[in-house]
Amino acid sequence: MLLKYNLKIITRLGFTHRAKLHDRMRIAIGNREVVGWGCNGIPAYMDRPDFPFPSIRWKESTPEFMALRDKERGDWKLMTLQDKKNLYRCNFCQTITEMNAPNGEWKYVVGGGLYVVACGIWLFIMMHLFDDNEFEEVVEIPNLETNRDFDIFSESEVDNFEVVDEVNDETVVENNEEIVIENI
């Protein structure tokens, strides 16, 4: 059922009939001649240095261009330099040298990188300006009574510690040295 429904949609959009696809491509490329496969099989013009053979001509077929095409079929020595240049410009938009020429794209890349760095610096400054320093470092003193109650110490550690409780103070004797911790 789902396959039939999808087939109806695909047929309605025109992807199943080759002539409809050809007609849509003909509308897109206009009156330009298809001269080859191109880099991906789609009739579209692209100037690419890595694939310098587009699938369609750059300009549409005009009477002037057709006259140059007739001269092209003959002897090339009879053609003037200007005719050869015009013929090339009808077939291609740019030369390989023009494609490889610097175009200033690096300026956008550097500008984007500087924008990201500036946003990072701005965020760093804002975090330090609006940082709440209410939290102080808390030094935790281990509660030896809790540790002893849960039997976490090994026998050798228990032998080294002596705990003596007094009224308001805790006195811990460690290796015969007395340390007093006041309860707050």
* Token digits of residue 34: 């298809």
**Could you tell me the pLDDT band of residue 85, with boundaries at 50, 70 and 90?**
very high
Instruction: Note the pLDDT of residue 168.
Output: 46
**Could you tell me the pLDDT band of residue 94, with boundaries at 50, 70 and 90?**
very high
**Could you tell me the pLDDT band of residue 43, with boundaries at 50, 70 and 90?**
confident
Comparing 122 with 140, the larger pLDDT belongs to: 122
- The secondary structure of residue 83, as a DSSP letter, is H
Residues of each domain in the chain carrying CATH 1.10.442.10: 2-100
pLDDT in tens, 60-69: 989 999 999 9
pLDDT in tens, 31-42: 888 888 888 888
| Most confidently predicted of 20-29, 120-129, 151-160, 168-177 | 120-129
Closest C-alpha to 97, from 59, 52, 54: 52
Residue 134 phi/psi, 5-degree rounding, is -75, -25
| Most confidently predicted of 76-80, 89-93, 108-112, 168-172 | 108-112
**Amino acid in position 71:** K
Q: Which residues pair with 90 in a beta bridge?
A: none
Cβ contact 52:36 at 8 Å: no
Burial of 39 (0-12, 13-18, 19+ CB in 10 A): middle
Could you tell me the fold of the domain covering 2-100? Cytochrome C Oxidase; Chain D (1.10.442)
Cβ contact 34:55 at 8 Å: yes
Is the pTM above the cut of 0.85?
no
Instruction: Note the pLDDT of residue 126.
Output: 92
